Structure 1
Amino acid sequence: MYKNNIILALGLIFMLIFSACTPQNTEDLSKELDSLKDENKILQEKISSLEEQLNEDANNEAGAMTSLSLATKVVNILKARDMNELKNYAHPQKGIRFSPYAYIDETNDIIVTANDLEPYMNSSDIYTWGSYDGSGEPIDLIFSDYYDRFVYNQDFANPHIVGNNQIVQTGNTINNIEEVYPNAQFVEFHFTGFDPQYTGMDWTSLRIVMEEYNSQLYIIGIIHDEWTI
């Protein structure tokens, strides 16, 4: 008797299940499933689109460096004397003008293009980079010697003061950076001095000048500065 009751109960359950799964209900479930699949497809497309946008924004932020971040990167490249890396940041059209003092001589200061930076560093050719302050004698040096005297003559990657679009120190030489580079930005890496007996007269600075080209900043000038007569 107990066994017959169990069989009867199971039979009733199966009847209820099969009665619920009518053709109409099956059709409704199928439509709902198709609708969910369409919604899922739309959501997946939106997710893909947002992911692409995030990646694009991240790449743009990485490419669009600020003047301070670019100058800091470049000064470390200068410390490493890596001209092969520096060329990636040289202005594609204007190259980099090297100025031994604060006064930028648009006629005589030497401009080195991106592709010439490494050959210049390895060259034994002597170039005239300007005139020495005080004596007026020509600065006739190979590029690597000029570099040691008028580019990275101190550890500018670890300066006393950094000026972002601000002149930190000036000497007796006219500073015409704003006249020569009116549309540029610059960062000054400055040492206030080294030997107390000179009371700050042995200060020195390196200014990295940047200008925008195709929505990206590039180096157009590297200016050395120091106390002058």
Structure 2
Amino acid sequence: MPNSKTYLLLWILAPISVYATFGPEDSGDYLSNTTVTPSQQQVMQDAIYIKQALAYKNYQAVAPLIHPTRGVRFSMYAYVDLKSDKVFSRAQFTQYLKASKIKFTWGQQDGTGDLYITPLPAYLTAWVDASKYQATAPTINQFQGFGNSLNNLTDIYKNHDFVEFYHPGSDKYSGMDWRAIRLVFADYKGKPYLVAIVSDQWTI
């Protein structure tokens, strides 16, 4: 099993057209205590790339890794709602990044019940907010954040790999301002692709 330095080298040597480095590598030692398959290593590599692209607002760079037939789902909280979550194909994702005045209803905000209505780029910037996870070591198929919201990810996405990026919150709020994003992948013709971006945080 490669160590984190070997893994980082493999990532750097990946085709530059797809795996450009957006910022500090944060893979940490996620491989050191976890047994992963070669496929899961690829999932982790892709997840880190996607998170970095989101953190640096290079949203278009995510499009090639969206599942070709299933598209990508966006869940505001840990509960994946098959009826109301927004799902965009790769083409739609690209289109709505450019048509930034088109607004979507993403769901209800916890606490107030107000509808969260905003364009796709604003949702990625303000709600997904991947910049929070720059110093966080990701985990594969393991949850770090737990709140009151029902987490049904492993029920909806059985036999799927997911990578979680976790922000532990601040001392000021006793960690209750923690956040997490989970990137879920599915195989297509022997290669993993992104099928969901699930956000999570403390809920009432």
**Category of TM-score, reference length = shorter chain:** 0.7 to 0.9
| Uncovered stretches (5+) of structure 1, i.e. residues with no partner | 1-57
State the identity as a percent. Answer: 30
Match of 1:99 among 66, 69, 75: 75
More helix by share: 1
Map of 1:6 onto structure 2: none
CA contact (8 A) 2:165 2:180 kept: yes
Map of 1:110 onto structure 2: 86
Per the TM alignment, residue 153 of structure 1 is displaced from its structure 2 partner at its CA by: 5.2
Map of 1:42 onto structure 2: none
1:209 maps to amino acid: V
The answer to whether structure 1 residue 124 and structure 2 residue 116 are counterparts is no
Alignment of 1:138-157 (within 5 A): 138-152=115-129, 154-157=131-134
Aligned length: 168
1:156 maps to amino acid: Y
Per the TM alignment, residue 119 of structure 1 is displaced from its structure 2 partner at its CA by: 2.2
2:182 maps to amino acid: R
CA contact (8 A) 1:101 1:224 kept: yes
Whole-Å Cα distance in 1 between the matches of residues 97 and 81 of structure 2? 22
Whole-Å Cα distance in 2 between the matches of residues 153 and 83 of structure 1? 11
Q: TM-score, normalised by structure 2?
A: 0.76
Alignment of 1:19-34 (within 5 A): none
Whole-Å Cα distance in 2 between the matches of residues 70 and 111 of structure 1? 20
Map of 2:187 onto structure 1: 212
1:74 maps to amino acid: I
| Uncovered stretches (5+) of structure 2, i.e. residues with no partner | 1-13, 20-37
CA RMSD of aligned residues (A): 2.2
User: Whose RCO is larger (CA < 8 A, sep 6+)?
Assistant: 2
2:189 maps to amino acid: N
Map of 2:26 onto structure 1: none
Whole-Å Cα distance in 2 between the matches of residues 75 and 181 of structure 1? 20
Per the TM alignment, residue 120 of structure 1 is displaced from its structure 2 partner at its CA by: 1.4
Match of 2:56 among 58, 64, 80: 80
Alignment of 1:176-191 (within 5 A): 176-191=152-167
Map of 1:136 onto structure 2: 113
Please identify runs of 4+ aligned residues in structure 1 that moved more than 4 A.
62-65
Match of 1:225 among 195, 200, 203: 200
Instruction: Describe the superposition over 1:196-226 as per-residue Cα deviations: whole angstroms up to 9, x where unpaired.
Output: 1211101011111111111100000001111
201-210 vs 71-80, which moves further: 71-80
CA contact (8 A) 1:83 1:117 kept: no
CA contact (8 A) 1:208 1:223 kept: yes
The structure with the larger Rg is 1
Per the TM alignment, residue 127 of structure 1 is displaced from its structure 2 partner at its CA by: 0.6
Instruction: Describe the superposition over 1:118-160 as per-residue Cα deviations: whole angstroms up to 9, x where unpaired.
Output: 321232011100110112121111112211222125432432x
The answer to whether structure 1 residue 168 and structure 2 residue 144 are counterparts is yes
Whole-Å Cα distance in 2 between the matches of residues 201 and 117 of structure 1? 32
Whole-Å Cα distance in 2 between the matches of residues 214 and 177 of structure 1? 23
SS at structure 1 position matched to 2:132: coil
